[in-house]
Structures are given as C-alpha cells and as structure tokens.
Chain A
Amino acid sequence: MQNVNPLTLYIPILQTADAQATAQAVYQNFNNPTTKANLDSMAIVHYARVALVPNTNSPGILGVLVITEFDGNMNSYLQAFWDEPGGGIKNAFITLATIALDPPPGFDPNNITYTMFSNFIMSNNLSEPADLYYAYPQSVEQITAAFPPNS
C-alpha cells in the first residue's frame, strides 16, 4: 500500500570519447529552469538528480545514475515523460540509451516505441519499492497545497 516509489536508473556507458562527452552533457544540462518547469508541471516528482559514476581504476565515467522519488506508479511516471509536450526529459532518457553499453533490443533513436522506452528504463532500475525510506507519505500535490513554494 506504499504510495510513493523510487527509481534508481543505472546505465553503464560506452568507453568512447563521444559517449563520455554525451554523459557529461546530460549531467550538466539536467538541472535547469526548463527541467524544473517540466517536473513541476507533472506534480508527482519529489526530487530528481543525475550523477556520473566514475571509473574505478581509470579516468572517465563508468555509468550514469538517475535517482528520483515519485508519487503513485511507475506507469504514470513514464507516460508523463513520454507525453511531455517539450520532450526534454524523454529525449534525455533516449540519449542515455544511445550511449548505453546494453541498449534496448533493436534500438533506433529515431524510431523508438513507448514499449522500448519504458522497458529500457524498467530493466535498468536498481530499486524496489521496499528499499525506499521516506519520512512522509504525502504527495507532492498535498505538500505544495499545504506549503505553497515561494514564487
């Protein structure tokens, strides 16, 4: 009966200069006003961040982590990304698939289906709902209604 759930998306990436640069770009472009506006409008994401996991014994990036907590079910969460009018977050996920060591079967970034999109994210999710500690069960909408953010 848990009503908040985690996503811990871990994508090991190719060890090429292009892939390393792409991962850096995804990381640096993530937390900006556009992303905030998109996630605010969804009103189900408690927080989200991207992290780059370094290689252990050499320079560079081993993989990309996307860590979030959201209200309700993963289904609504991923559909919201897929349907997002600007497509920025969806495209960031698709970009990660292009540099993944293990991309989705038959992956073509210019011809991707929702099934491929959602299966790629679900199959790289390291979390289970039972893993999540959360201090409060209230939803983003309930919290922002009670404590409206300063504009």
Chain B
Amino acid sequence: MQNSESAAPTQPDLSDIQGLIIRGYTHPCSVHMLYQFSSAPADLPNISGFFKALVPYLRAAEDWGAIKPEIMLNIGLTAGGITIVRPDLNIKAFPYTFYSGPWSGNGAQQSLMDYGAGAPSMWWNQKFPYTAVHCAIHAYAMNPDAQANITNIIAAAASASNGAVTELLPLDSPTGRLEQYPLIPSDYIHFRYRDSIDEPDLDQNPTGTDQADLNNFLIGYSQLPHPVPGPITGPEGVFAKNGCYNAFRVLYQDAVTFYDFLKTEAERIAPIIGMSVEYTIEWLAAKLNGRWRNGSPLVLSPDEPEQSTSKATDFGYKATDMQGLKCPFSAHTRVANPRDEGVLVAGSTIVPRIIRRGVAYGAPLHENNASDDRGLIGLFLCGDINAQFETLYGWINMNNFSPVFPKGQPTPQDALIANRPTPPVPSNMTGSFTIPMADGTPVVVPDPQGSNPVLPQFVVTRGTAYFLLPSISALKEIAGVE
C-alpha cells in the first residue's frame, strides 16, 4: 500500500506562509476579530473586496528586519468560510474534524468534552451560533493607537462589503471583541503563570521526522508515515499548501475559584508538608501546573522557583521523576507534553506537539471586578487538528496515555484545564488530583474527606472554531489580486 502523503520534499517558501505560523509575534497589542460571510453567490465579489482591502496588511513569514511592523494581520477561514469563498472546492476532501467542526459529537467533542456552561450550545455567550463563524482576522499592533488604527481599517473593509461581511462580537465587554489585555509581565496569563515557554523549534528541514519540525505543521511537506497535514491532493491540496490549521479556543479562567481553592487547600496541606501557608499556595500552584509560576520546571527546581530555570525547556522525566515525586503525573505541563515519560495509546507512542500563540483577555482580578470576563484567547496551530490538538486535549480530559497511570484505577485528569466528570453521565474518571510524596503517603486534593472531593472547573470553554490559515497566494486569489 502506497501512501501518497509522502510527497517529494522541498524547502518551504516563507513569502507564501502567514507569519503567525512561523513567528511568535511579541506585539503588545492584538485583537482577534470574527466575521460571518453572506452565503448568497451574488455577494461573493463584495467578500472578495473585503479581502482585497486587507491584503496590504497581510504579514508573511519572512524576516521583517530590525523594526517590527506597527500594524499587521493574518487571516483564518473555517470550513464554512472556505465553502463560501471557494465554492469550487470539495470541503469533504479536508479532514473530517475540520469540516464537521469543533462542536461535532462524532468528531471533536469526543476529545474536547465540553459540557455544561462550556458546551457548544453555550459558546460565544450565545450571541451567535457556532456555525456563523467563517473568518478570523488576527490583528497585531505596537501600541493601543495602532491597534485602534488596524481595527478601524478592518471594520471599514467589512462596512464596505454592502452587508456581505458581518462582524461577530462574542464578549460581554464594551467592544464585544476578543482583545488582548496587556498583563504585566507580558508573558504571564491569568492564574499568574508564565506561559508559552516551550514551543516546537519548527526546524525547516523538509525531510525531518521530529514532531516539532515545521513540516509537521505546514501542509504539503510532511514525510511522516502516520496521519499528516492535509489535504495534499487535487485542487483542495493546491489551495491548502503552505497553510496550517488553527484550533482557536477561547477559555474563561475562573480566577476567584482558583485563588480560593489554592488558599483553602494550602491551609489544610501546610501542616502536612511542614511549610507556611504562603509557601504552600505557591507549592500547590506549581504541583497543579508542573512549573512554578515564574516558569521553573519542578523537575529542575523541585523545592522553589529559580531565575536560572525560569525558561528551561531541556529536561525530561524518565531519568529522575518516574514516581512523580517532583512533578505529579497529572500536572498540566506534564500532560500537555509528557516528553520522555513514555506514551502508549492504542498502539501509538507518539507525543504530538502544537504551536501556541495565546494571549490573555480581560483585566486581572482585583477586589472590584470578580464577575468580569477574563481568560485566554488560545491559538493552537497544527498541521493535523486530529492527530495533534485533539489528541492532546483527549489526554488532558483523560490521563490514560502513559504507563505511569495505573490501569486498574479511575482515570485521572489534567489538574488545571480538564472538563470535570459530572453526573448523570457515568464516568470512569476521578476528579481528584494526587501529589506523590517521598514518605509514600500522597497528598490528595481536594480534601478527600470533603463533601465534594472533585477539583473545581477552573476553566470553561467560551467558544471554539477551527480555521485554516491559508497561504498568502491562496488569500490573494480570493481577493483577486496578484
């Protein structure tokens, strides 16, 4: 049996690839604008005009030199959006999970497991149906005035479409838009953790077989024998080449519940570990995450955060922590990247990687804004949504992917971001979090003797959309420009 997804390797053309894929932009301001297109064929020229107005600001992956562009943007299209702007393409030549959407019970939701307040029926604050999202414009700016400028340019382009392009406003905020909040330090997110420390290196070797290589993210280059970025054949393959998928996920972070949980549990645990409550709050926050809040991995800095390890990425678990005494097995960063721990799921030993381009939205918690919306605007880039993003999310919700989890016991979950099991749906999962200890008696949170020994729902899904970030040439073709 041949595998036609093994195309001859060529070097990616950075001028045809959207910059967001290759570069972690560090612009301090960004806004992520969602749009719906009219499905009337007569409106297609007006939609094309919308794209044409944005092309001058479209950023490719080439080096921009010493000076960052003051404003720039990248564009994503959902399967519904592609169906409208490229009606000649067969959307069912794309992967099932992309064209069926992140709300699909037979597809994405078997991994994402959103329910209750985070269920697809509740997404986008119920301001529009999840199927309405056709396009995302990810706009970046060097300062608030520049952000206002690029936002106005995009809004004006939509206004000029004679109703063919309509902005969707998902938040209960003054603008309703998904706008980056400038947290300080800038690489921190709500819950006060440093984020995005360890990203795939995106080696541009087109024959590379490492999960972190660029060709595992970019459509049209993979040499891997297992599921690979696609489509790569037919006119759909031509359209998708040099593109990358973006699993766009907006996650509300319940800071009040999280901070209360840390304090309550730390008061119980502090006497057990013989430390102050203040230390224990930070110790528990680190155990839940796998890194201290400054970024130091527990494997390298098990007792306290250290400046020297705060951005460390070169470490594993196999040599020194297969009992989880430093980093618990269900700590968030250990689940999302088990490194050399050992993985075995239905015969697969692959540890997938994703590119994260997330930013915080909403003001940090203070005494007068507890009810405000805040969380993460997550851009999770991958060549294969199924094999990369959804596989990792399935692991987050069910920690059954490694021999370190005992087979004969209820399945644990990611300590920070999993969706918790709730009645009446029967579940094989445990809602508690186990911290192995050197004396052989683990610390279990929440208090097993409590009335509801299940971790709270710290994170709730506000909305999800699957975008393709097409090539620059594919977007220019839609825009009708050279």
Q: Does B bind A?
A: yes
Query: Is there an interface contact between B1 and A112, defined as CB atoms closer than 8 Å?
Result: yes
Q: How far is the CA of A72 from the CA of B92 in the complex (A)?
A: 24
Q: B232 at interface (Cβ–Cβ under 8 A)?
A: yes
Q: Check if B422 is an interface residue, CB within 8 A of chain A.
A: yes
Instruction: For B112, give the chain A residue with the smallest CB separation.
Output: A73
- Let me know if A54 is at the binding interface, CB within 8 A: no
A65 to chain B, nearest CB (A): 17
| Cβ of A115 under 8 Å from chain B | yes
Residue in B111, B233, B386, B390 whose Cβ sees the most chain A Cβ within 10 Å? B386
If A73-B110, A76-B394, A138-B428 touch, whether A105 touches B93 (CB-CB below 8 Å) is: yes
A118 at the interface (CB under 8 A from B): yes
By the criterion CB–CB under 8 Å, are B411 and A119 in contact?
Answer: no
Query: A130 vs B391: C-alpha distance in the bound complex, in angstroms?
Result: 21
Q: What total of chain B residues lie within 8 Å of the partner, measured CB to CB? A: 56
Q: Which chain A residues lie closer than 8 Å to B94 at the CB level?
A: 115
Q: Are A3 and B429 in touch, CB under 8 angstroms? A: yes
Within 8 Å by CB of B90, from A44, A87, A105, lies A105
CB of B92 within 8 A of CB of A114, answer: no
Contact of B110 among A41, A74, A111, A139 (CB under 8 A): A74
Residues of chain B within 8 A (CB-CB) of A71 are 400
Determine whether the beta carbon of B228 is less than 8 Å from that of A114: yes
Q: Are B346 and A82 closer than 8 Å at their CB atoms?
A: no
Q: How far is the CA of A119 from the CA of B79 in the complex (A)?
A: 15
User: Cα distance A111–B427 when bound, in Å?
Assistant: 40
Contacts of B100 in A (CB 8 A): 122
Which chain B residues numbered 75 to 132 have a C-beta less than 8 Å away from chain A?
A: 90, 92-97, 100, 105-107, 109-111, 113, 115
Cβ-defined partner of B386 (8 Å) among A41, A84, A91, A118: A118
Establish whether residues B394 and A128, one from each chain, have CB atoms under 8 Å apart when the complex forms: no
Give the CA-CA distance A115 to B110 in the complex, in Å: 18
Category for how many chain A residues contact B: 35 or more
In contact, B105 and A137 (Cβ under 8 angstroms)? no
Q: Interface segment, B2-10, B19-27, B31-39, B285-293? A: B2-10
Q: Which B residues lie within 8 Å of A42 (CB)?
A: 346-347
**CB of A146 within 8 Å of the partner chain:** yes
For A5, list chain B residues within 8 Å (CB): 110
Taking a contact as CB atoms under 8 Å apart, the answer to whether B5 and A113 are in contact is: yes
Given contacts A115-B231, A145-B408, contact A75 B110 (CB under 8 A): yes
Closest Cβ of chain A to B99, distance in Å, is 8
Contact A41 B96 (CB under 8 A): no
Contacts of B398 in A (CB 8 A): 3, 72
- The verdict on A118 contacting B95 (CB below 8 Å), with A110-B2, A111-B2 known, is yes
B394 touches A134 (CB 8 A): no
Among residues of B, the one whose C-beta sits closest to the C-beta of A91 is B1
A1-B394 contact in complex given A41-B347, A115-B94, A118-B96, C-beta closer than 8 Å? no
Within 47-95 of B, Cβ neighbours of A (below 8 Å) are at 90, 92-95
Is B366 located at the chain interface by the 8 A CB criterion? no
For the complex of A and B, list the 10 residue pairs with the smallest distance between their C-beta atoms, beginning with the closest: A145-B408, A73-B110, A80-B346, A137-B426, A145-B407, A122-B96, A114-B227, A141-B407, A137-B428, A115-B230
* Sample of 11 more A-B contacts, CB < 8 Å, known A118-B386, A139-B411: A1-B397, A1-B429, A43-B346, A72-B346, A80-B345, A105-B92, A113-B3, A114-B5, A114-B227, A114-B230, A119-B96
20 inter-chain pairs at a CB distance below 8 angstroms, sorted by A residue, are: A1-B422, A2-B425, A5-B110, A72-B398, A75-B390, A75-B391, A75-B394, A76-B345, A105-B93, A111-B2, A111-B4, A113-B3, A113-B232, A114-B228, A115-B227, A118-B95, A122-B100, A123-B92, A138-B428, A142-B428
